[in-house]
């Protein structure tokens, strides 16, 4: 059993601290992680799940205590397969120049990609790209098709906070920079 105290730490530090604790304690079966905000709670929960842990959360005096226990050995935590790739979208338009044309091209690109034979493992949205996953986006229907086909739709939590869009997320889930970097260093990455 190990306790990782992440109070006062901003995303992605709690995930990284939890990862280091798991790496330092080989065969760790139980871990408790303490965080002080909902974004960190969700990101650490997702990370622990990806490492084969099940976790329950208790909230006490504004703190979240994540009690996690190893459930299974996850042999294929993130496999690099021959045709595996991720897409990183850093803005809400495709290309440079006319914004109107950029919006048309982005919709066309996303629709075409959703019909491709080899789909990405994840599509990650950062900076103004998060406008594509939130209320008012013309791409919500296409992004839901990706999800139905098993593609993870991930929006940067820091970016959603910056643009005050966290409560307007319409598709996918919130992620952090650690997870984005982990995917970019594991999979071939297409950047838009």
Give residue 78's pLDDT.
40
Give residue 73's pLDDT.
52
Domain count for the chain, please give it: 2
The model carries a pTM of 0.68
Give residue 81's pLDDT.
40
What backbone torsions phi and psi does residue 27 show, to the nearest 5 degrees?
A: 65, 25
> Quick one: tokens of 30?
């139980």
Could you tell me if 145 and 66 lie in one domain? no
Residue 80 lies in a domain: no
Beta strand 53-60 pairing with 63-70: antiparallel
Could you tell me if 103 and 150 lie in one domain? yes
- Calpha distance 163→185 (Å, rounded): 27
> Quick one: tokens of 182?
């982990």
Give residue 52's pLDDT.
86
Nearest to 158 by CA among 129, 183, 137: 129
Contact, 80 vs 187, CB < 8 A? Answer: yes
What backbone torsions phi and psi does residue 60 show, to the nearest 5 degrees?
A: -140, 120
Nearest to 174 by CA among 63, 40, 5, 65: 40
Give residue 72's pLDDT.
58
Give residue 12's pLDDT.
83
The CATH number of whichever domain residue 15 belongs to comes to: 3.30.110.40
Ranges of the chain with pLDDT below 70: 72-83
Give residue 128's pLDDT.
97
What backbone torsions phi and psi does residue 80 show, to the nearest 5 degrees?
A: -95, 105
Owning domain of residue 121: 85-191
* pLDDT tens per residue across span 8-38: 988 789 988 998 898 888 788 899 999 999 8
């Amino acid at each position: 059993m190990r306790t990782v105290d992440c109070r006062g730490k901003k995303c992605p530090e709690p995930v990284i601290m939890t990862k280091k604790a798991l790496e330092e304690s080989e065969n760790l079966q139980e871990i408790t992680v303490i965080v002080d905000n909902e974004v960190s709670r969700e990101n650490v929960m997702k990370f622990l799940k990806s490492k084969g842990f099940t976790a329950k959360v208790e909230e006490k005096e504004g703190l979240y205590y994540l009690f996690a226990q190893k459930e299974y050995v996850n042999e294929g935590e993130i496999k690099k397969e021959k045709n595996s790739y991720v897409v990183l979208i850093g803005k809400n338009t495709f290309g440079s120049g006319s914004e109107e044309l950029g919006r048309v091209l982005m919709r066309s690109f996303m629709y075409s990609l959703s019909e491709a034979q080899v789909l990405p493992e994840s599509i990650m949205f950062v900076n103004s790209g998060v406008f594509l996953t939130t209320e008012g986006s013309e791409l919500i229907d296409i992004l839901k098709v990706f999800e139905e086909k098993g593609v993870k739709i991930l929006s940067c939590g820091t970016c959603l906070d910056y643009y005050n869009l966290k409560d307007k997320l319409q598709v996918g889930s919130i992620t952090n920079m650690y997870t984005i970097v982990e995917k970019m260093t594991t999979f071939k990455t297409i950047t838009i």
